[in-house]
Amino acid sequence: MDNINKNKTGKIAVFDSGIGGLTVLEHLVREMPNYDFDYFGDVARAPYGDRSVETIIEFTEQSIRFLFEEGAEIVILACNTSSAVALKYLQNKFLSTPKFKNKKILGIIRPTAEFAVENTNAKSLGVIGTAATIKSGACKKELLKIDKDLSVLSVPCPLLAHLVEEGLEDTEIAINACKMYMSKFDNTLIDTLILSCTHYPFLKNVIRSVTGQDVNILEQGPIVAIKTIDYLDRNRDIELRLSKKSKIRLFTSDQPERLRKLGSKYFTGDLTNIRKVGLSDGGRFVLVNKCR
C-alpha cells in the first residue's frame, strides 16, 4: 500500500459511510462549481446506522483523519449517523491535536434543523433516519433548541439505508418498507418530513408516493450547499484557504465499481476515477490502487 499524504491543502471534503453523501456532493458541486472537493465513502463498513456509538466514532475518526491528511480544510460529515453521535466528540479531539487545530468538521443536522424551522407552517415535523441517528435524538434536540413549540415525531427506518446500498430503491420491497415506516405518522398531521439520512434521497420518489403531495419532503443536499456558502461568507479566513480548480476526487474503502454504479443514479458528475483505500496495520486509511 502506498501512503498518499501529499500535504495538499484547501479542499472541502465530504464524508459518508457509503454512497449517501453523493446526494450532498451533487448539490455542493452544482452551487459551488469552482471549488475542489474530495469525497470518501466508507463502503466497506456501510451502513453505520445499526452500529454502536463507539464503533461509529472510531470509523468516523479514521475517515476524517484520512481526509485531513489528504489536504481537506473542512470535512463535512454528510452522514447523519456520524453527525449525530460523533461530531462534538471528534471536533474537540481534532481541535486539540496541533496538526489539525485549524481544520473544521461540520455536521449536517444543525443546518437541516435551521432550514426546516424556517420552512414549516404547521410547526409539526416528522424526522426519519437510521436507528443510531433517531436514538441519539440529535435532530429533534436541534429543532427544539430553535423553536421549543414545535411538535416533532422521529421514526427510525433501519432498513432503508441497506436497501439503497443494495440498489433496491425501485422495488416492491422498498415500497413496502416505506409504507411500514410511514404508517407511524398515520395519527400525526405533519407538514414537513426531514430525510435525516443522506441515503434517503435515492428513495424520495417512493417516500413521496407513500406520503402524498401535501407533505414537504426535505432532503439535505440543497440545504447543506446553501448553508456551506453562508458559512464560508461568514468565515472568510477559511474561504481564502480553499483551492478552486473545480477538481473532484473520490475515494472508497471498497468496491469502486459499486459506488460508481449505485452513485450514478443520483450523482451527475464524473464517477470514472474512484480510488480505493484500505486500513493499514496502524488503523490509518492508505491508498490501495487506482481504478482506471
* Active-site amino acid positions: 79, 197
- The residue type at 8: K
**Residue 217, C-beta contacts closer than 8 angstroms, at least 6 positions apart:** 192, 193, 195, 204, 207, 208, 211
Determine the residue with CB nearest ligand DGL.
49
Total residues belonging to the chain? 292
The Cα 30–Cα 52 span in angstroms is 34
Residue span 62-91 as binding mask against ligand DGL, x where in contact by CB under 6 A, dash where not:
-----------------xxx----------
Q: What are phi and psi for residue 208, nearest 5 degrees?
A: -60, -40
Of these, 41, 49, 201, 222, which contacts ligand DGL (CB under 6 A)? 49
* Footprint (CB under 6 A) of ligand DGL, residues 148-177: 161
Of these, 15, 17, 110, 253, which contacts ligand DGL (CB under 6 A)? 17
Instruction: With contacts defined by CB under 6 A, name the span among 169-177, 191-199, 205-213, 260-268 that binds ligand DGL.
Output: 191-199
Contacts with ligand DGL: how many residues (CB under 6 A)? 16
Residue 234: CB minimum distance to ligand DGL, A: 25
Residue 78: CB minimum distance to ligand DGL, A: 7
Q: Which residue has the cell 475542489?
A: 36
Q: Which residue has the cell 480510488?
A: 275
* Footprint (CB under 6 A) of ligand DGL, residues 208-267: none
Residues that bind ligand DGL (CB under 6 A): 16-17, 20, 46-49, 79-81, 130, 133, 161, 197-199
